[in-house]
């Protein structure tokens, strides 16, 4: 594990493997670089894998007010520059991390070789925006424990907890900063991914979780259709699919990488 200051913020990162292909993994809202640990052994061979804590989460600099997608994107680009990763990367993002990965592929096409999105955040439907803002305010006024039961049933449902990894995930999730979590929710209220989806030109894989009520397969399928030539598939998993179902996610990634 390493520490670095980039783009005016501090973060943790780790690099695994010494392969020729750089692979960058961007975790979900409420997660940290550990969210990728179950998947890591499945995808590391032949690759140099970079994981890091997104601003607001893990041990990275915290957020206040409203998070900004431009800032999250700039953080990762600055990290790549600081680490001397200049060649195009394999970029994988999960949930809000998927939104960050999507926007990097759209705005910095020269930095991305291939893109994999796992239930990416796309924004909040207009009819839900007031409720989401109110939820963000309530999170900030209370605690992560106050939110835990309702939120984790959405992101990590009972059907996916038999793998033995949920208790550790929950304990780590409870350590989140409520203000950073709320700030990210507020960012999603104003997020509109349509322009970014239309700008992606690299090969892309978009996965939806069959047990993900936050990003149902129909929604993710419609988003995938806006990326030219994107592959779309549904996996028997949930919102945090790389942690919940690493084997099936790895199978889809390897098939995508081989085919493209």
Residues 174-190: tens digit of each pLDDT: 999 999 999 999 999 99
Tokens of 115: 């893109």
- For residue 138, which phi and psi values (nearest 5 degrees)? -70, -40
What is the token pair recorded at 114? 């291939």
User: Tokens 């549904």 identify what position?
Assistant: 234
Q: What CATH fold (topology level) applies to the domain 2-259?
A: Rossmann fold (3.40.50)
Q: What is the mean pLDDT of the chain?
A: 97
Task: Work out the pLDDT band at 57, boundaries 50, 70, 90.
Answer: very high
- Mean pLDDT confidence for 141-149: 96
Strands (E), the chain: 2-6, 9-16, 21-26, 47-52, 89-94, 112-118, 204-209, 231-235
Per-residue pLDDT averaged across 16-40, rounded?
A: 96
Pair of tokens at residue 48: 């140099």
What pLDDT does residue 115 have? Answer: 98
Interatomic CA distance for residues 156 and 160, integer angstroms: 6
Report how far residue 189's alpha carbon sits from residue 132's, in angstroms, rounded to the nearest whole number: 7
pLDDT tens column, 241-260: 999 999 999 999 999 999 99
- SS3 percent helix, strand, coil of the chain, rounded to 5, is 45, 20, 35
What is the pairing mode between strands 2-6 and 9-16? antiparallel
CB 58 within 8 A of CB 13: no
Q: Give backbone dihedrals phi and psi of 15, rounded to 5 degrees, phi first.
A: -120, 125
What is the structure's pLDDT at 101? 98
Share of the chain above pLDDT 90, in %: 98
Given pLDDT bands bounded at 50, 70 and 90, which one contains residue 221? very high
Query: 34-41: long-range contacts at Cβ-Cβ below 8 A with a sequence spacing of 24 or more?
Result: 34/58, 34/172, 35/94, 35/169, 35/240, 35/242, 35/243, 36/242, 36/243, 37/243, 38/165, 38/242, 38/243, 38/246, 39/242, 39/243, 39/246, 39/249, 39/250, 40/16
Task: State the average pLDDT over residues 119-145.
Answer: 96
Residue ranges of domains in the chain: 2-259
Report, as an integer, the average pLDDT of 140-148: 96
Tens digit of each residue's pLDDT (9 = 90 or more) over 193-211: 999 999 999 999 999 999 9
pLDDT given at position 238: 98
- pLDDT bin (cut points 50, 70, 90) of residue 18 is confident
For the whole model, what pTM was predicted? 0.98
Sign of CA dihedral 160, 163, 165, 170: positive
Number of H helices, E strands in the chain: 11, 8
What local confidence, expressed as pLDDT, does residue 119 receive? 98
Q: Can you give the pLDDT at residue 207?
A: 98
């Amino acid at each position: 594990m390493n520490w670095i200051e980039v783009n005016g913020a501090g973060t943790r990162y780790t690099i695994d493997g010494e392969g020729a292909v750089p692979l960058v993994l961007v975790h979900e809202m409420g997660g940290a670089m550990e969210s990728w640990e179950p998947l890591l052994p499945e995808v590391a061979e032949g690759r140099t894998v970079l994981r890091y804590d997104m601003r607001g989460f893990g041990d990275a600099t915290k957020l206040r007010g409203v998070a900004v997608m431009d800032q999250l994107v700039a953080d990762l680009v600055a990290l790549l520059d600081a680490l001397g990763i200049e060649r195009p990367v394999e970029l994988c993002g999960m949930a809000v991390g998927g939104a960050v990965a999507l926007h990097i592929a759209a705005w910095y096409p020269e930095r991305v070789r291939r893109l994999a999105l796992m239930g990416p955040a796309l924004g909040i439907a207009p009819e839900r925006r007031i409720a989401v803002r109110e939820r963000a305010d309530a999170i900030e006024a209370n605690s992560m424990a106050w939110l835990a039961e309702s939120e984790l049933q959405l992101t990590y449902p009972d059907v996916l907890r038999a793998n033995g990894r949920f208790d550790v995930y929950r304990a780590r999730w409870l350590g989140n900063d409520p203000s950073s979590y709320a700030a990210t929710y507020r960012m999603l209220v104003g997020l509109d991914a349509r322009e970014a989806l239309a700008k992606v030109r690299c090969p892309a894989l978009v996965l939806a979780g069959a047990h993900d009520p936050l990003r149902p397969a129909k929604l993710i399928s419609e988003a995938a259709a806006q990326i030219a030539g994107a592959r779309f598939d549904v996996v028997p998993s949930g919102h945090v699919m790389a942690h919940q179902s690493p084997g099936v996610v790895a199978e889809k990634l390897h098939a995508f990488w081989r085919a493209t």
